[in-house]
């Protein structure tokens, strides 16, 4: 449980760092903004599923123009995930949850694997965002877990 909680804390930290780097870059790259919005929405989709709710109302790949709106999404996600994690008991990590993906296909996945997906999915895309910042000659940001763990 301690590891998953630490990984989630890293997620909040890394999300904030990547948002700050994007803001600092003043990028207008629509694909890049669409990608960072995707990360925020995906976090929200999984949280909805963890709460036993549907996620069909969320669109994972919409255009985004306003980084402040995306930032608000990440802040709300972090707040809600913190509440969820505080109420999560070790014994529930292997509990299986039934849900439908965005295409309506039914799946069953453990809470542990869902939380791992949230963490790893975000890190994958933050790496892509950093690469895009580098291509735009903007400064990428350090988001490695070890950097977070050394704080």
Domain boundaries, the chain: 2-149
Specify the CATH superfamily of domain 2-149: dinb family like domain (1.20.120.450)
Those residues whose C-beta lies under 8 Å from the C-beta of residue 97, and which sit 6 or more positions away, are 49, 50, 52, 108, 109, 110, 111, 114
One pLDDT digit (tens) per residue for the chain, 151 residues = 999 999 999 999 999 999 999 999 999 899 999 999 999 999 999 999 999 999 989 999 999 889 999 999 999 999 999 999 999 999 999 999 999 999 999 999 999 999 999 999 999 999 999 999 999 999 999 999 999 999 9
31 neighbors 143 (Cβ within 8 angstroms): no
């Amino acid at each position: 449980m301690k590891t998953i909680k630490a990984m989630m804390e890293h997620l909040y930290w890394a999300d904030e760092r990547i948002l700050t780097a994007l803001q600092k870059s003043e990028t207008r790259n629509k694909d890049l903004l669409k990608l960072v919005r995707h990360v925020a929405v995906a976090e929200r989709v999984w949280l909805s599923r963890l709460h036993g709710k549907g996620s069909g109302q969320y669109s994972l790949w919409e255009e985004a123009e306003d980084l402040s709106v995306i930032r608000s999404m990440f802040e709300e996600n972090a707040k809600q995930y913190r509440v969820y994690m505080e109420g999560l008991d070790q014994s529930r990590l292997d509990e299986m949850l039934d849900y439908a993906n965005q295409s309506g296909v039914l799946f069953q996945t453990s809470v542990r694997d869902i939380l791992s997906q949230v963490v790893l999915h975000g890190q994958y895309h933050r790496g892509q965002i950093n690469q895009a910042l580098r291509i735009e000659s903007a400064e990428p940001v350090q988001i490695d877990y070890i950097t977070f763990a050394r704080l």
